[in-house]
Amino acid sequence: MSDATPVLPAANRAWHLVRRPEGWPVPEDFALRELPVTAPAEGAVLVRNRYFSVDPYMRGRMNDVKSYVPPFRLDQPMDGGAVGEVVASAADGFAPGDLVLHGLGWREYAEVRAEHAARVDTSLAPLPAYLGVLGMPGLTAYAGLLEVASFQPGDAVFVSGAAGAVGGQVGQIARLKGASRVIGSAGSDEKVRLLTEEYGFDAAFNYKKAPVAEQLAAAAPDGIDIYFDNVGGEHLEAALASLKVHGRVTVCGMIARYNVTEPPSAPRNLDLLIRKRLRMEGMLVADHQALQPRFVAEVSGWIRSGELTYRETVVEGVEHGVDAFLGLLRGENTGKMIVSLESPEG
């Protein structure tokens, strides 16, 4: 615990949800408001956020429905993953200058209970990586492929949304672990090239150019063993058709239906779950925290060796936080979408 009296910032801007979106969110659903900044309470630290995360799951939290995580409250600061620097500490074991990962993003400063702050090691990877490749999306990819889908060397793997933070890592981990074939879908020709030329996918296609089922059948003529689903809808229907007997599906996300107001038309072939004896399992990364040490050790090693690469789309400034989130929903990101609060001087 530090005895020095820190100089506190004059203001703290934070994004609030002011209206629950109907269909696609719009900027008017949010407001950037100032909050007071006070010295941290006993057992807490004051963190200057340097980066915060915007993620697809946050769209579901904007609806007032019961789910695995409570919805955002109206006219209250939103939250999510963030990394930053401790500027004042009233907690044993933390001192100004420590870099920590915590869950109070969408704001410039956060008072975080010590038990909810985790130190990060920037010798393993740069600070923003702890929101992506070494953070929640990375662990989602690692656990969803290896534990939920029971990946085995020789499996053929199809990943939807493969140029996103989770999908890109799923494909690379599958390749590094001995997949016979890795196929990905993405929403632009540029992202398709990234998958094959940089991430090492065996095949990839632009799902906007032709029906997914046709393109997947051409890319995986012998079928697939695992489908890692980030999209749902037409992608899931196509994957069910291509899966081999005893194939496995990890359902991580269904971004195709996050903003729809009408029931989806696909998948229409769920009977294949019976015929092919498929296993389809939804996942939440919180159920797999026990894998965290192994995940960080193995993935950071691949990053240092250059065997695993990653992309980040960084939007500058807290005032552009909602722009970043809306861009994420439109697929404007390549890799992890992150909001930087760093000053121009760094």
Domain limits of the chain? 12-132+310-340, 136-286
Averages of pLDDT over runs of 10 residues in the chain (346 residues) are 66 96 96 95 97 95 88 97 97 96 97 96 93 96 98 98 96 98 97 97 98 98 97 94 98 73 77 95 94 94 95 97 96 94 63
Dist. CA 152–CA 122, nearest whole Å: 32
Q: How far apart, in whole angstroms, are the C-alpha atoms of residue 70 and residue 300?
A: 32
Given a contact cutoff of 8 angstroms between Cβ atoms, the answer to whether 219 and 213 are in contact is no
- d(CA 117, CA 148) in angstroms, rounded, equals 27
Cβ-based burial of 124 (10 A; exposed 0-12, middle 13-18, buried ≥19)? middle
Q: In angstroms, rounded to a whole number, what is the distance separating the alpha carbons of residues 159 and 161?
A: 7
Describe the crossing of helices 165-176 and 136-143 by its angle, rounded to 10 degrees.
40
Its CATH architecture, for the domain 12-132+310-340, is Alpha-Beta Complex (3.90)
Superfamily of domain 136-286: NAD(P)-binding Rossmann-like Domain (3.40.50.720)
pLDDT score at 260: 58
Using an 8 Å Cβ cutoff, are 79 and 104 in contact?
Answer: yes
Asked whether 341 and 51 are in contact (CB, 8 A), the reply is yes
**Bond from prior residue into 25 cis (ω within 30 degrees of 0):** no
Question: What is the rounded CA–CA span in Å between residue 136 and residue 338?
Answer: 13
Which secondary structure element, helix H or strand E, spans residue 191, and what is its range? helix 189-193
Asked whether the whole model's pTM tops 0.75, one would answer yes
Single-letter code of the amino acid located at 230: N
Instruction: Compute CA distances 215 → 42, 200, 209, 266, whole Å.
Output: 58, 18, 9, 17
Ramachandran category for residue 331: left, alpha or beta (phi over 0 → left; psi -120 to 50 → alpha): left
In the structure encoding, which two tokens stand for residue 286, read together?
Answer: 């919180």
